Every structure is written in structure tokens, then in C-alpha cells.
């Protein structure tokens, strides 16, 4: 009985998801930001610093992001997504030095590049942001969790504003998507925590967990799932 109950819940949730629209990106900008998030007590992130103090300018192709240690200009470069909508950037930095023995300054730093994307929304609306592969991200200036292991179930409820919405993702290979035409409350079925039902055993009351995202501006309490 419980197995059928959980199956019914999953089917109901999945049927609601198909009514949504998924937006993918074709073009983006990237910059070798030089950010450092290794095993260090103090992280280095020029882009986050500029965003915090209000000096981060809207990126444009060949626009200057900052200057390097030798005075060279570090520029934003245009990149295109592959057929699946994935952006890939790998930058080798053999000039970085560190006293941290756990870091490899000559290797490929998969977390120091930033990728910039923008979406112009025709109206203010709720949405779900899903970025596979990013270490961390900023959406309209607000920091959010990333999905460095590419799990695909890091669904971030966001409020799209009318006009340009900006996304900065720190990472080397990302698949960004914005899901619109969503309801404020959504049941996500791609990261279920369900109990084991053992045949011929006394199972009693079994508990499970399902992720629910709330993209509205209101708190929701005392929610129930009924079949």
C-alpha cells in the first residue's frame, strides 16, 4: 500500500512538471577571474568583491574585467554552447603561485573562470533556476548554491524581474537552464528519500522526504500531500 502511495505521489508531481517551459542559452561571456577556492583559510574572488562593493560593470565582449599582476588586461571573451546547451571553459594557469602544499598551481583550475549569461524576461514572474556543473553562482546579485558534481537536482526558486536578469556562474563546464511558467510551489522528484519496504517484515509507519521549492515571496507552512 505504501509503495503504491509513493508511486502515485511521484506520478502526480511528474505530470505537473511537464507543463513548464525550459529556456536554454546559446551565447555567453567568460573571464579568467583568478578566483581561488582551494584548501585555504581566505578565499580570493575578484568578481564577488567587485559585486559586493558595486564596481562590477556589465560584461561585454572584449570588455576589461581587471588587470593582471603584470598589468595585462583580463578581458571577457565570447563563448557558445554545444548542441546540448553546455558551456565549457578550461583555463591553464602556470603562473599562479601558492605556499599551500595541497594545491597544484600548474594544473587546470576548474573553478576560477566565471561565465556570464543574461535573460530578458517579458514580465516579472517566478521561475526555477537549474545550473548543472557550476561551483557557485550569483543571480541578479544574490549568491546561490552550485552543483559541482553535476547532480542536476539543485533547483533554485528565483524571481525574474521584467527586463534583463543577470547570471554569473563560477565553473568550467556548466549546463544552465531557466524554467518558467511554473507554479509557486513545486514538488521535485529527482532527489527522493524513500524508505525500504521489506516483504514479509513488519514495516510499520515508514517515512520519506520529497523536495518542495517555493518560488513565491510568501512562507508556506503546514503543507500536506494527499492522494
Closest CA to 118 of 167, 180, 175: 167
pLDDT at 17: 44
Whole-angstrom distance, CA of residue 212 vs CA of residue 15: 15
Looking at the whole model, is its pTM more than 0.95?
no
DSSP class of 12:
H
Each domain of the chain, given as residue ranges in start order, spans: 1-20+184-227, 22-181
Write out pLDDT tens, residues 21-75.
999 999 999 999 888 887 778 888 999 999 999 999 999 999 999 888 788 899 9
Check pLDDT > 50 for residue 6.
no
Amino acid at each position: 500500500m505504501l509503495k503504491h502511495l509513493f508511486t502515485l505521489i511521484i506520478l502526480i508531481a511528474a505530470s505537473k512538471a511537464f507543463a513548464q517551459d525550459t529556456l536554454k542559452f546559446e551565447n555567453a561571456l567568460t573571464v579568467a577571474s583568478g578566483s581561488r577556492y582551494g584548501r585555504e583559510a581566505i578565499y580570493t574572488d575578484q568578481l564577488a568583491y567587485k559585486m559586493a562593493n558595486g564596481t562590477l560593470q556589465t560584461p561585454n565582449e572584449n570588455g576589461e574585467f581587471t588587470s593582471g599582476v603584470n598589468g595585462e588586461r583580463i578581458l571577457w571573451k565570447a563563448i557558445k554552447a554545444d548542441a546540448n546547451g553546455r558551456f565549457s571553459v578550461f583555463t591553464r594557469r602556470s603562473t599562479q603561485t601558492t605556499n599551500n602544499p595541497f594545491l597544484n598551481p600548474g594544473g587546470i583550475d576548474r573553478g576560477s573562470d566565471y561565465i556570464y549569461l543574461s535573460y530578458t524576461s517579458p514580465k516579472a514572474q517566478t521561475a526555477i533556476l537549474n545550473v548543472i556543473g557550476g561551483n557557485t553562482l550569483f543571480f541578479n546579485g544574490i549568491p546561490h548554491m552550485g552543483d559541482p558534481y553535476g547532480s542536476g537536482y539543485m533547483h533554485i526558486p528565483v524571481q525574474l524581474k521584467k527586463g534583463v536578469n543577470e547570471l554569473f556562474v563560477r565553473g568550467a563546464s556548466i549546463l544552465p537552464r531557466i524554467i518558467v511558467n511554473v507554479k509557486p510551489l513545486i514538488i521535485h522528484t529527482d532527489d527522493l528519500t524513500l524508505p525500504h519496504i521489506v516483504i514479509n517484515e513488519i514495516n510499520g509507519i515508514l517515512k520519506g522526504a520529497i523536495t518542495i521549492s517555493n518560488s513565491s515571496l510568501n512562507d508556506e507552512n503546514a503543507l500536506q500531500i494527499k492522494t
